[in-house]
Structure 1
Amino acid sequence: MAEADASAAGPLNEPIPGLSPSASTPTSTQAQQSSPAFVAPSDYLRPRERSHVSKSRGPMSPLDHEQLDGLRAIREFLKARTSYDVLPLSYRLIVFDTALLVKKSLNILIQNGIVSAPLWDSKTSTFAGLLTTSDYINVIQYYWQNPDALAQVDQFRLNSLRDIEKAIGVQPIETVSVHPLQSLYTACRRMLESRARRIPLVDVDDETQRAMIVSVLTQYRILKFVAVNVKDTQNLRKPLRDIDCGTYGNLQTATMETPVMDVIHLLVKYSISNVPILDSEGGVVNVFEAVDVISLIKGGVYDDLNLTVGEALLKRSEEFPGIFTCTLNDRLDSIFDTIRKSRVHRFVVIDEDKKLKGLLTLSDILEYHTVVAAVVAAAYYATLAA
């Protein structure tokens, strides 16, 4: 990453939770795997001096003004910095040719601890989209609907993914991209509009006028860049219960006894990336993530799809860091502090009894800062001007 904290850069492609070779503290028992460590953002929050306090503007409270000032500072920062600014000084980028076998691409992802890779069509010398976990889930769906086609599935190439998508009636592979010199704000809006959690950076060669894949930008990398460089995040002191950020209704859940394929169907049907796992009393005990599917089909073996969720989660690496939780009393300043210190992709919102209240994803946080807060601020200042 090009900011002052060079150590925050990390590897370019997003690691697979539980498959990263660089993780540390191992756990080995079934109980530990079934009941992962819970990490609350307030555990990371340390007292810091506030950058400034806004003067009162009308009927809003000082806390409201601070919140608006913090949100405005973040939006201005995103508009002033480009995607190039987020990239580390050196990194490795893995790009797949569309002629590669799907089975081989899966093994490469696992070996390198990543969950996505840009696609390149060597016949036309063009960018062909981004391969993600969703594409492998589509292959699983196809296999489940056509159990006699295992030999055919093993011969699928990446350029045949569109045929699979048509066969099972799902959205096509992500092809959205952004130029690396465009603002981070533009990259965020492009991701939100396409519901993508990462976006390739594609430049154009001045001499050949051909596309060049520069990198892949993730929501986590953007938010960590903000957390490291924008001190005004400490002004975001309104609790989650008082802001429009997160999902708190119509949540899809499962139990440890739920068949894995039932959860995969939920991921596809509702276009979600995770399903909270609850106990018999409704308490959160784990989260089944889309990336957990990767470890179940490595080597092209699909037998593990018959497992229950509990059995499948036992196949996670001992280095799986656990799930991150927060409550409705937590604030975005502590959320950003957690993002600054830990690789996190979502927060499970729980109450004091660990009962599920909602989900707070990185998409929710990006949308709140780039869309929702801007609308609220515009409405407020329009009222003052009236």
Structure 2
Amino acid sequence: MFASDMNSVREASRVTTAGMMLFPIQFTWPYGGRSVFISGSFNRWAELVPMSQVEGAPNVFQAVCAVSHGCHEYKFLVDGEWRHDERQPHKNGEYGIVNTFEALPVPVEVAQVQPRLDVLNSMEVDTGLTHRISAVTLNQAMPRISEEDVQACRHRISVFLAAHTAYELLPESGKVVALDVNLPVKQAFHILSEQGIALAPLWDNCKGKFVGVLSASDFILILRELGNHGSNLTEEELETHTISAWKEGKAYMNRQVDGHGRPIPKHLIYAGSCDNLKDVTLKILQSGVAIVPVIHSPSEDGSFPQLLHLASLSGILKCLCRYFKHCSDSLPVLQLPIYAMPLGTWVPRIGESSSRPFAMLRPTASLSSALNMLVQARVSSIPIVDDNDSLLDIYSRSDITALAKGRAYTHNLNEMTVYQALQLGQDSNTPYEMRSQRCQMCLRTDTLLKVMEQLANPGVRRLVIVEAGSNRVEGVVSLTDVFRFLLG
């Protein structure tokens, strides 16, 4: 099929695609591997198309290829070995056993090549990311901007952030909730739920300082531990199990112990009130946390610390929007549509076979699969979609504390659906189809400035990009995506 000298093969004749109407077909390899490629008759076996891991499902690889109508053969190159998918139609061909499919010339309802859902590690990852995508031409006009303008924009934003401090993030009025490490875990999560917050700094009175943060991620791990039949943690123990005991147990679970078997203390990531916003931004991005407490100490030795604020990327972005909104004409990048820049994660399209797919969920997916996805994909939210991939809702980390209110830890997480979990924190009289109004959405044609203004809202860390008129999911863009682009 492919000669050992791959360079000579790549010089072979290729399918001419200029101006051709083609069908986007999604191929899936659900059996794992380190590197996975696909090739077939649709590209005359002349190219290895790289396949990307699906967000939240490390064993699943996907790629979208531009395919003309007709019968086609294909195979997968997995870690240097040619393989076929035994669960898909296959036959003996010129290159051994190959998979087969037929692409019918239907303009909208596009055929799919996808595996049975039961092989996706029970993660319920949506594998229909590209069905019902209309056939499009490969040559599309796209707004462009010079690299000089991009660098000029980044320089101005960097100068602004370096000239302002974390103290300027403090609101004129407000409150900051902190929790004592000796509080029972169950009580702590009820407090988070009642206060409508997803995390809180932890205060250790014996040490006289803030020592960490309790977040929705902790609640996910506790729920999973309760669902583990071999676990020693019971619901009754949540009444007396303190936050400090949980943090110590978590260190043992993650094997974060020293040579003597003692848990290794983790240092709190925080910012001083005089730290500039660029340093605070980089601290959040590099550490992968959602917030950093802003702490001021009147003493040189750091004693008597005062918790002033919780700094987040959304708060910093709000400062940027407020400053640059009325002079955005001088920064052309802010007026570009988001699809014209390397921003976010998108549903793969024709010519973008290396794009990384992302996870979506159906309303009937189990709560357990949603929690697993949030942890494994390391994202703040997951779109909930219908059978047409149209956005119904999102399940986010901020929804997790509502499970404390609904005593979700008394239920089997595999039996509770995402839809039922969302009902715990929402008005049960609201029709499910109307709940998408609470979803934070944007369009591919929205400008970068408009997207920044939406992400600057408190509690919003990820926007779902939808198709105009249908709400069909096209991608996601997050706070970290925006800042990594703005700072280069």
> Which TM-score band applies after superposition, normalised by the shorter structure?
0.7 to 0.9
- Note the alpha carbon deviations across 1:247-290, whole angstroms, 9 max, x for none: 23231211011011111111112222211112112222211111
Q: Which one of the candidate residues 219, 238, 244 is aligned to 2:336? A: 238
Provide closer, same or farther for how the CA distance between residues 122 and 279 of structure 1 changes in structure 2, counting only shifts above 3 A: same
Which 5+ residue runs of structure 2 have no aligned equivalent? 1-142, 257-264, 347-355
Indicate the residue corresponding to 1:363 in structure 2.
Answer: 480
Q: Which one of the candidate residues 403, 423, 435 is aligned to 1:314? A: 423
- For 1:203, the aligned partner's letter is H
Secondary structure of the 2:401 match is: helix
Deviates most, 183-192 or 282-291: 282-291
Q: CA deviation at 1:301?
A: 4.9
Indicate the residue corresponding to 2:380 in structure 1.
Answer: 273
Provide closer, same or farther for how the CA distance between residues 328 and 226 of structure 1 changes in structure 2, counting only shifts above 3 A: same
Matched-pair identity in %: 22
Indicate the residue corresponding to 1:328 in structure 2.
Answer: 444
- Note the alpha carbon deviations across 1:287-343, whole angstroms, 9 max, x for none: 111121211222755235442111222233349761122232222122234356786
- Using CA pairs below 8 Å that are at least 6 residues apart, which structure has the higher relative contact order? 1
Q: Which one of the candidate residues 161, 166, 187 is aligned to 2:246? A: 161
Q: Would the aligned equivalents of 1:96 and 1:119 in 2 still touch at CA under 8 Å?
A: yes
Structure 2 distance, partners of 1:190, 1:208, is 22
Q: How does 1:1-386 map to 2 (within 5 A)?
A: 66-145=149-228, 146=231, 149-166=234-251, 168-169=253-254, 175-206=268-299, 209-210=302-303, 211-231=305-325, 232-233=327-328, 235=331, 236-248=334-346, 249-298=356-405, 300-304=407-411, 305=413, 306-318=415-427, 322-339=438-455, 344-352=460-468, 353-370=470-487, 372=488
- For 1:161, the aligned partner's letter is W
Q: Would the aligned equivalents of 2:314 and 2:456 in 1 still touch at CA under 8 Å?
A: no
- For 2:291, the aligned partner's letter is R
Provide closer, same or farther for how the CA distance between residues 281 and 147 of structure 1 changes in structure 2, counting only shifts above 3 A: farther
Secondary structure of the 2:320 match is: helix
Aligned residues: CA RMSD: 2.8
Structure 2 distance, partners of 1:201, 1:297, is 27
Indicate the residue corresponding to 1:45 in structure 2.
Answer: none
Deviates most, 78-87 or 93-102: 93-102
- For 1:345, the aligned partner's letter is R
Larger Rg: 2
Structure 1 distance, partners of 2:242, 2:336, is 49
Structure 2 distance, partners of 1:147, 1:279, is 38
Provide closer, same or farther for how the CA distance between residues 199 and 259 of structure 1 changes in structure 2, counting only shifts above 3 A: same
Q: Would the aligned equivalents of 2:182 and 2:243 in 1 still touch at CA under 8 Å?
A: yes
Q: Would the aligned equivalents of 1:255 and 1:279 in 2 still touch at CA under 8 Å?
A: yes
Which 5+ residue runs of structure 1 have no aligned equivalent? 1-59, 373-386
Give the TM-score normalised by structure 2. Answer: 0.58
Secondary structure of the 2:463 match is: strand
- For 1:213, the aligned partner's letter is L
Q: Would the aligned equivalents of 2:461 and 2:478 in 1 still touch at CA under 8 Å?
A: yes
Secondary structure of the 1:118 match is: strand
Structure 2 distance, partners of 1:327, 1:263, is 25
Indicate the residue corresponding to 1:384 in structure 2.
Answer: none
Q: CA deviation at 1:142?
A: 1.4
Give the TM-score normalised by structure 1. Answer: 0.73
Structure 2 distance, partners of 1:165, 1:128, is 15
Structure 1 distance, partners of 2:401, 2:453, is 29
Q: How many residues of Structure 1 are paired with residues of Structure 2 in the alignment?
A: 312
Indicate the residue corresponding to 1:46 in structure 2.
Answer: none
